[in-house]
Chains A and B, each alone.
Chain A
Amino acid sequence: MPAVSKGDGMRGLAVFISDIRNCKSKEAEIKRINKELANIRSKFKGDKALDGYSKKKYVCKLLFIFLLGHDIDFGHMEAVNLLSSNKYTEKQIGYLFISVLVNSNSELIRLINNAIKNDLSSRNPTFMCLALHCIANVGSREMAEAFAGEIPRILVAGDTMDSVKQSAALCLLRLYKTSPDLVLMGEWTSRVVHLLNDQHMGVVTAAISLITCLSQKNPDEFKTCVSLAVSRLSRIVSSASTDLQDYTYYFVPAPWLSCKLLRLLQCYPPPEDGAVKGRLVECLETILNKAQEPPKSKKVQHSNAKNAILFEAISLIIHYDSEPNLLVRACNQLGQFLQHRETNLRYLALESMCTLASSEFSHEAVKTHIETVINALKTERDVSVRQRAADLLYAMCDRSNAKQIVAEMLSYLETADYSIREEMVLKVAILAEKYAVDYSWYVDTILNLIRIAGDYVSEEVWYRVIQIVINRDDVQGYAAKTVFEALQAPACHENMVKVGGYILGEFGNLIAGDPRSSPLVQFNLLHSKFHLCSVPTRALLLSAYIKFINLFPETKSTIQEVLRSDSQIRNSDVELQQRAVEYLKLSSIASTDVLATVLEEMPPFPERESSILAKLKKKKGPGAVSVNELEEGKREGGELNGGGERGGDSSAISTPSPSADLLGLRAGPPVTAAAPSAGSLLVDVFSEAGSGSLASYFQFVCKNNGVLFENQLLQIGIKSEYRQNLGRMYLFYGNKTSVQFVTFTTTLNVQAKPVEPLIEGGAQVQQVINIECLTDFSDAPLLNIKFRYGGALQNLTLKLPVTINKFFQPTEMASHDFFQRWKQLSLPQQEAQKIFKANHAMDTEVLKAKLLGLGMALLENVDPNPENFVCAGVIQTKAQQVGSLLRLEPNAQAQMYRLTVRSSKDTVSKRLCELLAEQF
């Protein structure tokens, strides 16, 4: 092996790295780095032309500094220069720098692309690979535009070296991931698929990643890959461990390729061709058989590689979900792993079994492992493994084992890690409801849940138990009795008090016959918790009290006394005070009949999907949910139950219709309601962009806030403020769909801060633009917006509603002054006049509002004709101030206006006139 110190050492670099390592403090390190940066900067700027070696060395130092986490803002040009060096090491460092530190500076990209183009056409395989690596590392859209056409050609050409083919395949994959619209396989499809037959295993390994990705997107075009993949797999699986030479890894033939082949097959349904299918089933059986053979090596690499293939094969078996025999065998194999000494295998077995549990063929087989899984939940030392065990218990739960599983989960909750408690609580609540045969078990479970993990019981959970109790009259008495008992614990969770307050308020009468839970005992029990509770719970308790007065007239005087006490009726919280006052009044003046009507029992809730289930779904997310979306989900969840605090209270008085949002039952957030398909929308976006934007641009002449643009996908809102010659504009980009917008970019022909490149479905991002008016202008800045929605590029150009009048400072003046100035501005070019028809009703108040919105001072009692409007203002630009006067003469009979503007600058008069003529 070439020793590293030999030949290629850059001593200066090594010295610098040592220096950095010897720095005793962060400050010393920064000082050393700044010194080096200054040195490099002066070298790059110096008169003496640097030779290639020095350039390489300095670029490499910059790279090192960047990788240490410091910002680098120069040296890009020198790195680009290195690309065209004919010395390999210089070129290599240049490419590395570009790959790590690419800057979307358009000038540089052009130069980089040029260098890449030269290397690609050099026919020197080493240079070609370097260039391809660079494209694959950067993968920018500009590169896709430049090379997406060329690379497929390199990939399939007969005379391309194998190593170049490998790089080309993965380079294309990267470009396809960033810019699928630019990578058109069309004519190359079948030749690319046939790379699966290539005799070079490395080429097959690289190509299959590309083919898998393309198959996921266009399964039909690539479906011929299925039979090729099966025969390739079959050859590998049946080969002896030495057949594949260096592609055998710790006695396992081609593990990476095998996994990728099995993964590719998961893009398709089971092969229809009987022979192909037979061959594949044979492969899968062989893989399962091999798992039972004694290991060929004790090394963990051997077992990992072997099991990687096994797990991938099981994934395929689960994906097909059609071979009961294989499914059961897979399940038994995983069952063995459940007790393996390797934590990794136990983890993966639990995870994989979770999916097996949902297949009808293997559900029963999975259930046989229940004891092992429960044991894992209790004894595993790693929380992520326990989490998998809890997931699996949840997945294998059905009517037959629900009581056992729920009991185990509940007992685990007592000691569970904080990180997974909330999810566990949701799971228990769902299972309890789903498999409840008798509802007393359900009530017991939920109350236990609140007792054990009250802090983690979200509102959905306790709303749901109330909802169910109200809807099932067979459980109401039991619920009242149980909650009464639970409340007797000296310290009970506030959520228990909420449930107790609600249930006793509704059904306390069902247990009032027992002297141990007589009305007064019930009331005293509830009231003993009152002072420990938060405001919303206290409000709920007050409502329970008024219901008590209705249910048990004998408690009336006691409760009235409580309501009348200073701590209630003079409570500093307005909600509590209001309730106390209203309830007290209601109880003293209303007749029993009125009271009974007002406080009638809650009507049953409409049956809908459990809001808890919805919450769990949101928590787990269907597949790829990013963190943002999750947070978004949580936020929406909060709003969804917006009625929550009050929702818990049952009062028919201060909350007119509490049943409407009581249990957070409203349908999902509106954003998910209509997610139109991506394809059909494209046309609309473009057609609207053309016509729609001009109209709204003029809408903003007299106002600063509003919606600038809207179509089915995107809404752009504007808020802006101006002071003198400065302005600040906030643009809000709202994604109206449920799908992410990716690579979202906006460009302005003036400078703007970049916007977040990704907008989640239903989310909004904000961009701020600072504006300075340098001199007067008539053209609006153009805003170009590009983003991808469902793979398709959307492109939109809008005029930003920044108009000259935004920089008006109103000027108040008396009649005399106005006319004097008016006369001073008497040059013909200083005046602009327009006579035009009214577009809107000639309402004086509307006109005034619009003129005020314009930014000038609206001068009253100046014009001798009271129908006319006159305004005065000064436009503030950095270069100068432009005084402007305006006169608007409406002619109601003719429905016409005459608008006259005089300013010290002719272009301003003209522009103001144009802008305003559209407004009235």
Chain B
Amino acid sequence: MQFMLLFSRQGKLRLQKWYVPLSDTQKKKISREVIQMVLARKPKMCSFLEWRDMKIVYKRYASLYFCCAVEDQENELITLEIIHRYVELLDKYFGSVCELDIIFNFEKAYYILDEFILGGEAQETSKKNVLKAIEQADMLQEEAEAPRSVLEEIGLT
């Protein structure tokens, strides 16, 4: 996989993950182009697009588009299910996930993705195992967190 983008129906990028080295300007250009292309598609159209020397595989879940760019030889259907598995993971973790969860907890969305896909390839396809890894991290986190005053939390001190 070359990159994964999550964006809203309005074209707002919610998550971007790049597995090939590109400059920031290239990334911006590509995102803009891909988002535009995918948003222009009609509902019943197929989920695959040829784009440059890659394939774009996308699927819409509620207000969010999940979109992967894979190499020309890559299996489209299994990529579609990569997307679905990621959605399942988010859903299970956040408890029926919505766009707002991903906006406010973007770092979590990235952590989950890293446990699932690394370097553009599936690292762990078992839902249980991925969530276990994230849970363990959360446990470490809770042990480390000391309670803080409300004022400090909102940045007033």
Contact = CB atoms under 8 A, between A and B. Distances in A.
A311 B153 contact: no
A304 B77 contact: yes
- The number of chain A residues touching the other chain, given as a range, is 35 or more
A265 B51 CA distance: 27
B106 interface: yes
Contacts of A255: 78, 81
Contacts of A96: 107, 110-111
A683 interface: no
A63 interface: yes
A64 B110 CA distance: 12
Given A88-B137, A163-B133, A384-B50, A17 B124 contact: no
Contacts of A381: 42, 44-45
A249 B128 contact: no
B123 A308 contact: no
Contacts of A249: 81, 85, 125
A624 B71 CA distance: 9
Interface string B122-151: 111111110101011110111011001010
A133 B122 contact: no
A312 interface: yes
Given A60-B107, A384-B50, A246 B128 contact: yes
A371 interface: no
A757 B129 CA distance: 39
Contacts of B24: 71
Contacts of A177: 119
B89 to A, nearest CB: 11
Contacts of B120: 174
Contacts of B77: 304-305, 307-308, 311, 344, 348
B140 to A, nearest CB: 4
B125 A301 contact: no
Interface string A382-414: 101100000000000000000000000000000
Contact of B137 (A3, A126, A140): A126
B53 A625 contact: yes
Contacts of B52: 626-627
A7 interface: yes
A311 B28 contact: no
B62 interface: no
Contacts of A16: 155
A1 B95 contact: yes
B103 A308 contact: no
A100 B106 CA distance: 12
Contact of B122 (A132, A206, A263): A206
A627 B106 CA distance: 32
Given A4-B94, A14-B104, A60-B107, A88 B122 contact: no
Interface in A143-179: 163, 166-167, 170-171, 173-174, 177-178
Contact of B118 (A9, A57, A171): A171
A87 B95 contact: no
A311 B76 CA distance: 9
Given A11-B154, A202-B123, A347-B46, A63 B107 contact: yes
Interface string B78-92: 101110110000001
Nearest to B24: A71
A7 B139 CA distance: 10
A202 B125 contact: yes
Contact of A624 (B23, B72, B84): B72
Contact of B75 (A9, A21, A312, A344): A312
A92 interface: yes
Nearest to A305: B81
Nearest to A174: B119
B93 interface: yes
Nearest to A100: B110
A3 B148 CA distance: 18
Interface in B1-47: 13, 15-16, 19, 21, 23-24, 28, 42, 44-47
Contact of A17 (B78, B84, B104): B104
A137 B46 contact: no
Given A305-B81, A344-B77, A384-B46, A67 B121 contact: no
B118 A344 contact: no
B61 to A, nearest CB: 13
B108 interface: yes
A177 B1 CA distance: 12
Nearest to B107: A96
A344 B123 contact: no
A21 B102 CA distance: 13
Contacts of A245: 126
Given A92-B111, A311-B77, A382 B45 contact: yes
Contacts of A64: 106
A171 B80 CA distance: 23
A266 to B, nearest CB: 8
B105 interface: yes
Interface of B: 13, 15-16, 19, 21, 23-24, 28, 42, 44-50, 52-53, 72-73, 75-78, 80-82, 84-85, 92-95, 101, 103-108, 110-111, 114, 118-129, 131, 133, 135-138, 140-142, 144-145, 148, 150, 153-155
Given A167-B118, A174-B119, A312-B75, 8 more contacts: A4-B101, A7-B141, A133-B114, A206-B121, A255-B81, A301-B81, A382-B42, A625-B53
Question: 8 closest Cβ contacts across the A-B interface?
Answer: A11-B153, A174-B119, A308-B77, A209-B121, A12-B155, A88-B140, A308-B78, A170-B118
24 contacts: A1-B95, A4-B104, A11-B150, A11-B153, A96-B111, A137-B114, A170-B123, A201-B126, A202-B125, A205-B122, A205-B123, A205-B124, A206-B118, A246-B128, A247-B126, A249-B81, A249-B85, A249-B125, A263-B75, A311-B75, A385-B46, A626-B53, A627-B53, A757-B21
